[in-house]
Structure 1
Amino acid sequence: MEYLSIFVNSLIDLSNAMAPYILFGLLFAGILHEMVPQTLVTKHLGRESISSVIKATLFGVPLPVCSCGVIPLAASIKKSGASRGATLSFLISTPITGVDSILATYGMFGWAFTLYRVFTSMIVAMAAGILTNIFDKEEEVVKPKFSLSPMQQPAAQSCCSTSTCCSSSEETAKFSMKKALKYGFVTLLGDIAKPLFWGLVIGALISSLVPQNLSDILVEYSWLSYLIVIAIAVPMYVCATASLPIAAALMLSGVSAGAAFVFLSAGPATNTVTIGVVKNMLGKRSLYIYLASIVFGSVIFGLGLDYLFASLDINPKSILHVEESAGWIAAISSIALWTFVLYFIVKPYLKRAKA
């Protein structure tokens, strides 16, 4: 019973931490879908090119969205025609940074550390997107070998002969909040409900099994600190801003700046929920590239940070300017999210029962 109680508490804490960001992400995705023309996404992010990856990365950097709030946004741009590489770049760059996180990082770690974090996250995101475009290309639609005769051609070309047809198709549709909410909370949430459910459950299991004296372990086994941090950061949910006090606490406990940086990079970029959704949305190969890019990129840049600190003889603790919060909004958001998720999971079974 004790373990069950710990698991339930971990699930509640995890849900409370994630729910507001997921719901905000769904709302933002719905509004984005209504305001941004699908042709714009297809034009700039639809090609399997380096430029589309760079644009997706730069688009994601300033957005104040966490690793779970970014899921509906990524699903939205993917549905609108973005390539797998661009979608993956967006998925990585967005949660690691964000205007709120950048400002918080500056306030806690200073401008040099902040620039390093932003710059390296962009490199990791771009690398993942480019690798995805190379090794996980979209399947091309096979065109029919036969051609239609002129008499069989569709009459779409004559559309402009009638003024109503062309004016309605080219006229910019008016913004509809109802359609935005329906797209975000019905279409998108319906797509990610199942992986979101299992991600929350598995994440709670992992969170309940992580030892409380984590910092002591990392200091004692410093040569293993990178691997231990990666093993914990990848599946665990922590947003970019919330990861800052944890990283600061690790550094104050004696953990290297590089290992703390790995947590700051890999923690917000991924978790069990995002992993499940990436697999479901982009496929296994993109998932492997996604995880490999984050793991190797975080470790390489973490080692680079340690090298810089050592060569410049900087004590990691000296850069710290070391707060927390929670509330009823998180609890209400969690209840709302679970209501939506359970509804979409149970819905197919209810339909079968009626049939």
Structure 2
Amino acid sequence: MENILEFFTALYDLSNAMAIYILFGLAFAGVLHELVPDSIVTKHLGKENILSVIKATIFGIPLPVCSCGVIPIASSIKKSGASKGATLSFLISTPITGVDSILATYGMFGWVFTLYRIFTSMIIAMVAGILTNYLDKEVVKEEKHQSCNSCCSSTTSTASEKKKFSLKSAIKYAFVTLLSDISKALLFGLFFGALITIAIPQNLSNILLEYSWLSYLIAISIAVPMYVCATASLPIAAALMLSGVSAGAAFVFLSAGPATNTVTIGVVKKMLGTTSLYIYLGTIIVGSVLFGLGLDFIFDINSIDVKSLIHMNEEAGFFEILSSLILWVLMLYFTAKTYFKKS
């Protein structure tokens, strides 16, 4: 009974932490879809080459969007004609960095650590994108929904026609077309994420200290399924270093944590296919560990200021709970609709 209560408490906390960012990402994707013609996305991100991957990576770096908020935006640019590699590189670079995260990283760790974080996230994202474009030729069948017929037909107009912004179309595209595509994966990811959360031991820093060089692998195994945004990962990484864990091991968590979680993993598989999922996870894991080792080799932990910590573990407010409620209603509705349609 106690474990069941812990599970639903973790699910409640996880939903409150993620929902507002997912809804923001959906809204942003809807507006982006209305403002940016599909022809522009296809032109700059549609080709399976290195340049499209670089553009997608650079485009994603300054956006203050977390690993869940980026899902609908990535889904939107994929639907608009972006290549798999460009979509994947955008998915990786966007949540690791962001204007808010960059400033917070600078304030906590200094400019050297900040530049290192930005540079490494770009490398990981571009490598993943390039590998995907060259190695993944799997064709992912996209589901068609009656609700998106009008939306899809509006995007088939010629590039010469000027697209007028429609708030109604933006909302419909965001909260019907996109959300119906990813609702099942989101639902599964939330449940699995809650299980992972209650399975993580409370004395994490002690475990990382005890196993020394294995701390990299332990950090990556915790970071990959766990949901934590780029800014919220900073005080966790700082706390690990204050506990005696090496800067490199903490950096592994700082890099892989925001880039992945159970929700994103499920959506990547559905949106891009199994091969892209393997490249996505493999590049982040290998890249984070290698750059973590590089950080320990190049920099001294004593040169990093970790005295100033950010307090992120606040009680969920009204908007967080409301966002969570709205998201759950929509997810359950679209999941049930898909289930009964197949039956």
TM-score (ref. length: structure 1): 0.88
Consecutive unaligned residues in structure 1, runs of 5 or more? 141-166
Question: Which stretch has the larger CA shift, 190-199 or 106-115?
Answer: 106-115
2:267 is equivalent to residue 277 of structure 1:
yes
Counterpart AA for 1:248? A
Distance in 2 between residues matched to 1:37 and 1:48, nearest whole Å: 19
2:320 is equivalent to residue 333 of structure 1:
no
Contact 2:28 / 2:73 at 8 angstroms: preserved in 1? Answer: yes
Counterpart of 1:305?
A: 295
Runs of 4+ in structure 1 over 2 Å off: 137-140, 167-171, 316-326, 348-353
Counterpart of 1:116?
A: 116
Deviation at 1:108, TM superposition (A): 1.1
Counterpart AA for 2:105? T
2:158 is equivalent to residue 171 of structure 1:
no
1:79-228 correspondence runs (5 A): 79-137=79-137, 170-228=160-218
Deviation at 1:219, TM superposition (A): 1.0
Deviation at 1:115, TM superposition (A): 0.6
Deviation at 1:319, TM superposition (A): 4.9
Distance in 2 between residues matched to 1:318 and 1:269, nearest whole Å: 24
2:231 is equivalent to residue 244 of structure 1:
no
Q: Sequence identity, in percent?
A: 72
Deviation at 1:137, TM superposition (A): 3.0
Which protein shows a greater Rg? 1
Residues 340 and 223 of structure 1, relative CA distance in 2, 3 Å threshold: same
Distance in 2 between residues matched to 1:300 and 1:235, nearest whole Å: 19
* Aligned partner (choices 311, 315, 335) of residue 302 of structure 2: 315
Contact 1:251 / 1:317 at 8 angstroms: preserved in 2? Answer: no
Counterpart of 1:67?
A: 67
Counterpart of 1:159?
A: none
Distance in 1 between residues matched to 2:107 and 2:268, nearest whole Å: 32
Deviation at 1:350, TM superposition (A): 4.4
Contact 1:110 / 1:320 at 8 angstroms: preserved in 2? Answer: no
Cα-Cα RMSD: 1.7
Counterpart AA for 1:301? F
Counterpart of 1:9?
A: 9
SS in 2 for 1:137: coil
Residues 130 and 6 of structure 1, relative CA distance in 2, 3 Å threshold: same
Contact 2:208 / 2:215 at 8 angstroms: preserved in 1? Answer: yes
Residues 336 and 201 of structure 1, relative CA distance in 2, 3 Å threshold: same
Cα deviation, 1:18-60, whole Å, max 9, x if unaligned, reads 0010000000000000000100000000000000000000000
Deviation at 1:168, TM superposition (A): 8.5
Consecutive unaligned residues in structure 2, runs of 5 or more? 141-156
* Aligned partner (choices 190, 212, 220) of residue 230 of structure 1: 220
SS in 2 for 1:315: helix
Deviation at 1:173, TM superposition (A): 2.0
Deviation at 1:309, TM superposition (A): 2.1
Contact 2:108 / 2:305 at 8 angstroms: preserved in 1? Answer: no
Q: In the comparison of the two structures, how many residue pairs are matched?
A: 324
Cα deviation, 1:220-242, whole Å, max 9, x if unaligned, reads 11121001010100011111011
TM-score (ref. length: structure 2): 0.91
